[in-house]
Amino acid sequence: MEAKENDVKARGYLNESFKVFHNTDILGTDTPVHFHTFYKVTFVKYGRGSYMIDGRVYDIGSGDVILVGINVPHRPDFEKGELYDRYTLYISEGMLESFDIPECHITELFSSESANVIRPDRKEADRFISLMERIDTESRSSSYGAVLSARLLVIRFLIEAARCREESSLTVPLKNEDDRMLSVLRYVNENLSNSLSVKETASHFEMESEALNTSFKESFGCEIGEYMINRRLSKARQMILQGTGPAEACYECGYKSYPDFTKDYQNKYGSLPKLMTKEPGSDDGFSDYFPE
């Protein structure tokens, strides 16, 4: 599935508890910066490249476990012609709630504050491969209890990842923290609740708006204005699902005008914003895998 120019919408909506994908190819990853409305875990069985997550770039190698939280911007970068073999898990927020996992544990596991990549030793990596293979097998099986078994294995994988994170070295960001466009991305993410414009962001970094747009697109595959709108809308939708009123979510996410918010919201989601509630354990809907 080819990414459209300037398309930085959330990729996919999970309507199952989880889904696992196993992809092996040499196609590379021509992918713009984007984010999901669910948790994502990638285990790199074989490959070498980099991964930008929340404004930090990690050097990725075989055996690494990559953890991406809900609405966290990320972008993989693997070279065309080089083998890239990986398992990817999409995990709904509802599934983790159904297992009564404390929110603080989930937040800690997927936090971008320290690092989003775990580099286990060979023995631990082999254990992760085995778990992913079993998840994949059970998720496609029609045997008795296969669905429950697969769900339990996903939780087991997350527990193993959390334990490994405590005991193993984490990878070090590849790029320097002073990289300008990464700094711009982090600045936007940290100021989503403010009415931050492209012009104001450009001024903050002593750049012209056009130059900022060009550099941002070269770095992340999309224009900064599109990125801002889609991050705000995704955050607002999540707030509304959690019980926040649409008007409050509008202004909390940096919109100055409620009519502008409703127009953008309808363009993205196909309906006007309205108060919605999600029962604990409910699933979050989704489309096809976005190769990354």
Q: What's the whole-number mean pLDDT along residues 109-134?
A: 90
In this structure, of 172-186, 216-230, 250-264, the range with the lowest mean pLDDT score is 172-186
End-to-end distance of the chain based on CA atoms, in angstroms?
11
Q: What percent of the chain has pLDDT over 70?
A: 88
Structure tokens at 76: 């993989």
Pairing of strands 39-46, 84-91: antiparallel
Which of 233, 139, 208, 218 lies closest to 185 in space, CA to CA? 218
Can you give the pTM of this predicted structure? 0.83
Q: Which residues contact 112 (CB under 8 A, 6 or more apart)?
A: 53, 54, 56, 69, 72
Question: What residue type is 198 in one-letter code?
Answer: V
Give the model's pLDDT for residue 252. Answer: 93
∠ CA 160-51-164 to the nearest 5 degrees?
15
Give the model's pLDDT for residue 30. Answer: 86
Which of 233, 227, 239 lies closest to 189 in space, CA to CA? 227
Residues pairing with 68 in the sheet: 40
Going by the DSSP 8-state scheme, the letter that residue 222 receives in this structure is S
In this structure, of 74-83, 96-105, 225-234, the range with the lowest mean pLDDT score is 96-105
Return d(Cα 246, Cα 269) in angstroms, integer: 14
In this structure, of 103-112, 141-150, 187-196, 219-228, the range with the lowest mean pLDDT score is 103-112
Give the model's pLDDT for residue 8. Answer: 53
Q: Let me know: does 73 contact 88? Beta carbons within 8 Å.
A: no
pLDDT at 175 over 80: no
Confidence of residue 13 (pLDDT cuts 50, 70, 90): very low
* Topology of the domain covering 18-167: Jelly Rolls (2.60.120)
> Over the Cα atoms of the chain, what is R_g?
19
Summary mean pLDDT of the chain: 86
Give the model's pLDDT for residue 43. Answer: 97
Q: What percent of the chain has pLDDT over 90?
A: 55
Give domain limits for the chain: 18-167, 180-269
Q: What's the whole-number mean pLDDT along residues 12-27?
A: 79
Angle at which helix 224-241 crosses helix 180-190, to 10 degrees, equals: 30
Give the model's pLDDT for residue 64. Answer: 95
Superfamily, domain 180-269: Homeodomain-like (1.10.10.60)
Return d(Cα 9, Cα 35) in angstroms, integer: 7
Q: Over the stretch 49-93, which tens digit does the pLDDT of each residue have?
A: 999 999 889 999 999 999 999 889 999 999 999 999 999 999 988
Q: What's the whole-number mean pLDDT along residues 213-219?
A: 91
